[in-house]
Each structure stands twice: as C-alpha cells, then as structure tokens.
A = this chain, B = another copy of it.
Amino acid sequence: MPTDAELADFYGGMERARLIPLWKVYKDHVPRAPSPRAVPHLWRFKEVLPLVRASGVLAPLTEGERRVLGFANPGLPYDGLAATTDTLWGALQYILPGEKARAHRHAAAAIRFILEGEGASTTVEGERCAVGPGDFVLTPPWAWHDHENTGSAPVIWMDGLDIIMVRELRGSFFEGAGEAPPAEPKPEGGSAARWAEGALRPAWERPRGKYSPLLLYKWEKTGRALRRLAASGQVCPYDDVAMDFTHPGTGGPVYPTMSCRIQLLRAGQRPRAHRHTGSAVYLCFRGRGHSVIEGRRFGWERGDAFCVPSWAWHEHAAGEGEAILFSINDLPVMEALGLYREEGLKEGNQKVK
C-alpha cells in the first residue's frame, strides 16, 4: 500500500507535469449521459418587451454592432460566455423606424424569424430581403449583411445563431464595416425567384454547398405548408404538424450547424414526450400552450421564448386554440458527427413534478 506521502508526491508531480489522472476524473470526462449546463427556461414576452423597448432608448445602435437582447440561460454564465443552450444563441433584435444596423460578416451562421413589425429588411451579400411577421431569413456564414427598418413602427425578430458552438469549436471569424469591399447589389427577391416555389430548380444551377441558396422563406408559403400538412392528417407523434426549413439544392438543413423548424400544434392534441441529443430554442409565434420539459411545466404565449437542453424530455401542446412554434436546433451537428440518439415514450407522457 502506498503511503499518503507517496501518493501526494505522485499526484503533485502529475500536476506539475500537466498530466491529469483520468481515473480521478473519468465521470466528468465521459458522462453516462449528456450533462448540459443549460437548464430548461422560459423568457416571458411580457417581461422581455419592456426591456426591449427600453433598449431602443438606452442602447443606441451606434454603441455596438446590433441591438440584441440575448436569452441568457440561468445554468450558464451571465457574461461573455452567456448562451441560450450549450451550443446555441437565441435573442430578440429590435430596430426602430429609420435605423440601420451596419453591415458585418462572421463565420457563424444566423437566421431571423420576424415576430412583429413591417418595413424591415435584411440585405445579404447585396440582395435585399424585405421581411414581415412570420418570415424566415438567412444570413449565411461569411455573408455581408445589414438590417434596416424603413417602416413606421419598430420591428422585433428572433435571432438564432450557432455562435456558441462556433466559438467553442474555435472557428469564429468576424469582420466589421469597412474591412472589406461591400457586396455588389443584386436584384431584390433574386434567390426567392430561383428557389422559393420548391421542387423546381433553375435549370442552370446545382447548388450543393453547405448553405441554402434561398435567403427568404415568406410566411405566406410557410403558413400554407403547415395548413396543408395539418389538413392531410400526416403528423409527427412528438411534434404534431412540424416542418423543417430545407436547403432546396440538397434537401438537407439550411446550415450544417443549425436546423430550423416551424410547427403547428393543433388544438386538443397531446403529442408524446421524447428526448434526444441536441438542444433547441423556441419562440411562440402564435397562440398559446405549454411544454413540459424534464418534468417542469412551462406555459407560453405569443412572443415567449424557451429552451430545451440536450437529452431533456420534452413535450409540447397547444392551449384552447392552435399554436405555432418556431425553433432552432443543433441536430445537424448531432447527426453529422454520429452523436444523435433518441428515446420516445410509447404512450402516456411526463409527469409534472
């Protein structure tokens, strides 16, 4: 039997040599199941909205690159390492009439889903995309993009970014205004004219790259797709009438790092609970309902945001009428890296703690 002194000497030597005994830390390094630091959490719009409005007064667009209020998960730091889940960033962006958030670009991928307000636009590599409620717009990695509100009322949208994952994987790059020649203007609606109708492609284009060539997914079409699918009765047992936005050139997710989903929860339905690796950030776009996440019940209504950490049991249901949820998730990463795993309840659902 080694003496305590021998052991102390040995472990001290290990530390000095920057060697760590795996047998002491095995459970931390190889958890038996995913161990997210992020916790289930909900951000109520009625608490958030006053702060959003105050930011319009107190945080001029000139102060930083964007006027964005990030959803800071209580399980994660409240500082430069804040995040909504362990890999994703969800936030609300607020732009007043007449304001313009200047162009920049980054290696991280971003999406916007418009919650309210007319008259805003995002210009991506020279192509202006005018957006209104329910519209979904992409600003792909390393694409120059700015945002502008030429309407008469403030605009609020949800930002979704993979910045947490990209930073932690040590792949982040950023350039601000003036650091490179701006993109040449392109005709508005160009990508939508080529790609938005779906199941058709311009005969001369075969985009197989990692990012969707379609920049703007209008609500008119998204909503119609949900209605048609709902009417057909073809639904997901866990997510009811759920559709993922796709890269029309590959059928895959819009980005390799992040997929985006719109789902209609029908009134009176109770989809089943399941859990899987990968995390998500949700925004309630319409209606009201609730989710049970790891046994905690979160009621939500329009404008509320919430998150589901990796491997957390979750189920969603509409309230009296139907409800529509938009969400972002990191499932493409889980699948590409072979880390996707799923379990579903066959019947019944979670017990609320």
A interface residues with partner B (beta carbon < 8 Å):
2, 6-7, 10, 13-15, 17-36, 41, 43, 47-48, 50-51, 54-55, 57-59, 63-74, 78-82, 86-87, 89, 91, 106-109, 141, 163-175, 187, 189-190, 192-204, 206-208, 210-212, 214, 217, 221-222, 224-225, 228-229, 231-234, 236, 239, 242-251, 255-257, 261-263, 277-279, 309-311, 330, 333-334, 336-341
Q: List 20 A-B contacts (CB under 8 A).
A: A10-B51, A10-B58, A19-B70, A22-B66, A22-B91, A26-B65, A26-B66, A30-B172, A36-B170, A170-B311, A194-B232, A195-B199, A197-B221, A199-B214, A199-B248, A202-B236, A203-B242, A211-B338, A256-B336, A256-B337
Q: Are A204 and B236 in contact (CB under 8 A)?
A: yes
Q: Are A86 and B168 in contact (CB under 8 A)?
A: yes
Q: A256 vs B127: C-alpha distance in the bound complex, in angstroms? A: 34
Among B17, B27, B73, B175, the residue within 8 A (CB) of A43 is: B17
Neighbouring B residues of A63 by C-beta, 8 Å: 23
Q: Using A170-B279, A339-B107 as known contacts, say yes or no to A10 and B54 having CB atoms under 8 A apart.
A: yes
Q: A199 vs B37: C-alpha distance in the bound complex, in angstroms? A: 34
Neighbouring B residues of A34 by C-beta, 8 Å: 170-173
Neighbouring B residues of A108 by C-beta, 8 Å: 30
Shortest distance between the CB of A95 and any CB in chain B (Å): 13
